[in-house]
Structures are given as C-alpha cells and as structure tokens.
C-alpha cells in the first residue's frame, strides 16, 4: 500500500526568522512551502496542486494579510483553501475582522508550538472531511445522472417497443413512427415562438410531446386483422370499428397511468395524441367531434404529421403521393382539417418535412415518392 501523501502547508510572513520558526515546527509533519510577501503567496497558492492550508501573517508591507485573503477568496482555484491568520495583533476586533473575511482560525504571536500544531491538525482534518464529502457528492451526482440517463433510455426504448407492437399489426407502416416523430418535433419547434403557442411549447413540453408521438396509433392493436389489413376501402361498419382505435389507445395509456398511481406529463400527452389525433379543426373528426382550440395542441400537431405521412406513403390500396402533391392537399385543408397556424409553419418549413421523409425512406412504402 502506497504511503499517504503528506498535506502541503504554505506559510507566509515578511520576516524570514518567523518563516524559519514555523518551518522547523511544521516540516517534520507536513510538506512546507514559504512566501515572504502577499504577491508571492498568491502566485504559489494558484499553482496546482494548491496548498491544503495557508498560515498567513496579517501585518505585511504592500499587501497585508486581509487583502491577500480577499484575493484568495476571489479565485476559483484558491477560494476553498483554509487560511489561519498568524499575527501579533491580539485585540478582539482584529480577530473578528479576520474571521469575518473568511479566515478559518486565528493564532497570535509569539506562537506556541502545541497550539499551532493543534490548530493546523484541526483545520486539515476539517478540510479532509469537506473534500471527502465533496467527492462523495460528486460521485452521487454522477450516479444519479447515469441512472437518469439509463431510465430515460429505457423509457424511450419501451415507448418504441409498444409502438412497434402496433406497427407489427400493420406491416405497411414501416418507418412511419420515426417520420411522424420528426414531423411533430419540427412543427413544435417552429411554432414555439408563435403567440398562440409560446406559453405551451416549452423545451420540456416539446421533449415530452416527441416522446409520446409514437403511441398515437397504439390502439390499432385492438382492431381485427380483417379490418386493419383489408386491402381495399372499408365499409361503413368497418370504418366505425377502425375509428375505435383512438379511444382504445388512450384507454390503454390511462390504465398504465393508473397502475403507477401518479400523474405523468408524458402519459397526459400520449393520451391526448392517441385519443384526438383524428379530430378536425372544423369539428368533423372523431371520436368526439372537437373543434378549434378545444382539440389539444399535441393532437393538432399529430394530426397534420399523420396525414402528411399517410399521403406520401404507399398502401395496399393506393400508391405513394409526391411530396408536393401532399403539401398542396395539406394547404387546402387549412381551417378545415387542420389548425391554420400549424399549416402555415408546415408550408414555410416544407423542405424540412420533405427531408425528414426522405431520411427515413422505405422503398416498399414510397414508390415514386419525390419532391418534384
């Protein structure tokens, strides 16, 4: 086992004879550095590794001990190094002044060896305890950060796993989850400065919104294959059944929230998106025929993202639509299917949406899809 490193003391006094006395007293127990002025003290103290303790004379020319202590406390390198004043000033006011400035202790001259050694040992033990506690806190903070990052990753993976579960029921959707996440994030960030949305679309809200977006169609798990996978138009009865996926999705998320017996922002947004992303601005959507701002903003953003992706994606009963054609359809539905302000940012940032679509291009889905 390697021998424990001896603490380093810096003794500061403009009188060489005082330095000799202190050095002879302390050197058998500690590594001792010496300085004969305030300037040299500051220079030595800022060299790494910093001293563990400074014994500082008060009455020095040019820069007295009080001024040196103030400079030590201003520097991030030395502000936590404990300082013991060693001085011939014996009045209570001087001692109080030194302690108020941040000195750890106060020793008067002529020094008495047992007192100096005891005070030095006490301050070094206190510093060692503070350093240990700081190291423990840093280690704890690092562990908490690691676990939070791990939990965050687990949450994201779990969300994607649930979304992919729904996706396996509908093999034509391919990268629909990744694309709609990207669209929703772009819509939200573009709308964040808008007066109608600025109070709501904080960075935290957008993060939770993007996390929850993959669960918008989780209710499709409950739709029979004969309806979900039908390669042609649905009958009225089949459409009624298909529409139930919105409420089934929000109900499933509600049950998950009840299991943990807590309100979680992520679940709130996930329920909004699952339940109302098929509502329309003019009130003709489903399942509740909400209109305008009565439709949660999360669902309004998801509605446009979902429709745009459906338009540019091939299905058994239709071919993929060129991006620009889909853009024109979205524009024509402003104020009808979609919130006009959401449509506006989509049109202004259309190239970004086309780029997101292309970055997750699936040849089986997007036959002949293009920006032309």
pLDDT digits (tens, 9 = 90+) for 84-125: 999 887 677 777 877 888 888 888 888 899 999 999 999 999
The pLDDT confidence band at residue 368, using thresholds 50, 70 and 90, is: very low
Give the span between the Cα atoms of 136 and 149, in whole angstroms. 20
Whether 8-137 and 170-359 share one fold: the answer is no
Name the token pair of 105: 């202790």
Q: Where do the domains of the chain lie?
A: 8-137, 170-359
| Predicted confidence (pLDDT) at residue 148 exceeds the cutoff of 90 | no
Give the span between the Cα atoms of 219 and 164, in whole angstroms. 12
> Do residues 102 and 74 make contact, with C-beta atoms less than 8 angstroms apart?
no
Q: Which residues contact 176 (CB under 8 A, 6 or more apart)?
A: 167, 309, 313
The pLDDT confidence band at residue 264, using thresholds 50, 70 and 90, is: confident
* Most confident region among 35-49, 94-108, 148-162, 281-295 by mean pLDDT: 281-295
Q: Which ranges constitute the DSSP H helices of the chain? A: 16-26, 38-45, 65-74, 92-100, 113-169, 176-191, 203-212, 225-228, 236-260, 265-276, 297-312, 323-332, 340-348, 350-359
Buried b (16+ CB within 10 A) or exposed e, 145-163: eeeeeeeeeeeeeebbebb
| Predicted confidence (pLDDT) at residue 190 exceeds the cutoff of 60 | yes
Give the span between the Cα atoms of 242 and 206, in whole angstroms. 29
DSSP 8-state class, residue 334: B
The proportion of the chain whose per-residue pLDDT surpasses 70, expressed as a percent, equals: 88
CATH architecture of 170-359: Orthogonal Bundle (1.10)
For strand 83-87 and strand 53-57, is the pairing parallel, antiparallel, or unpaired? parallel
Q: What is the pLDDT of residue 137?
A: 84
Q: What is the pLDDT of residue 255?
A: 85
CATH number of 8-137: 3.40.50.2300
């Amino acid at each position: 086992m390697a021998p424990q490193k001896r603490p380093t003391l810096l003794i500061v006094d403009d009188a060489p004879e005082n330095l000799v006395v202190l050095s002879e007293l302390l050197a058998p127990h500690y590594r001792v550095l010496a300085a004969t002025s305030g300037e040299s003290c500051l220079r030595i103290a800022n060299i790494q590794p910093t001293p563990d303790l400074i014994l500082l004379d008060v009455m020095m020319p040019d820069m007295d001990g009080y001024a040196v202590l103030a400079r030590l406390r201003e520097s991030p390198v030395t502000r936590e190094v404990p300082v013991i004043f060693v001085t011939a000033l014996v009045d209570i006011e001087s001692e109080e002044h030194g302690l108020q400035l941040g000195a750890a202790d106060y020793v008067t001259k002529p020094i008495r060896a047992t007192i100096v050694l005891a005070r030095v040992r006490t301050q070094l033990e206190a510093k060692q305890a503070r350093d240990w506690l700081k190291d423990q806190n840093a280690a704890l903070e690092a562990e908490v950060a690691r676990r939070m990052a791990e939990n965050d990753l687990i949450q994201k993976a779990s969300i994607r796993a649930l979304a992919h579960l729904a996706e396996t029921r509908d093999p034509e959707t391919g990268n629909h989850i990744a694309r709609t996440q990207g669209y929703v994030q772009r819509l939200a960030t573009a709308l964040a400065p808008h007066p109608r949305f600025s109070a709501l679309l904080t960075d935290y809200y957008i993060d939770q919104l993007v996390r929850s977006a993959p669960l918008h169609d989780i209710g499709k798990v409950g739709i029979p294959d004969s309806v979900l996978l039908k390669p042609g138009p649905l009958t009225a009865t089949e459409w009624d059944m298909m529409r139930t996926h919105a409420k089934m999705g929000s109900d499933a998320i509600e049950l998950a929230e009840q299991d943990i017996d807590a309100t979680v922002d992520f679940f709130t947004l996930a329920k909004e998106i699952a339940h109302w992303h098929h509502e329309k601005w003019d009130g003709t959507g489903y399942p509740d025929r909400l209109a305008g701002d009565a439709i949660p903003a999360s669902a309004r953003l998801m509605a446009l993202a979902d429709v745009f992706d459906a338009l540019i994606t091939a299905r058994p009963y239709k071919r993929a639509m060129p991006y620009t054609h889909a853009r024109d359809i979205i524009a024509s539905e402003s104020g009808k299917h979609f919130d006009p302000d959401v449509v506006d940012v989509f049109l202004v940032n259309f190239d970004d949406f086309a780029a997101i679509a292309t970055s997750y291009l699936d040849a089986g889905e997007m036959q002949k899809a293009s920006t032309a």
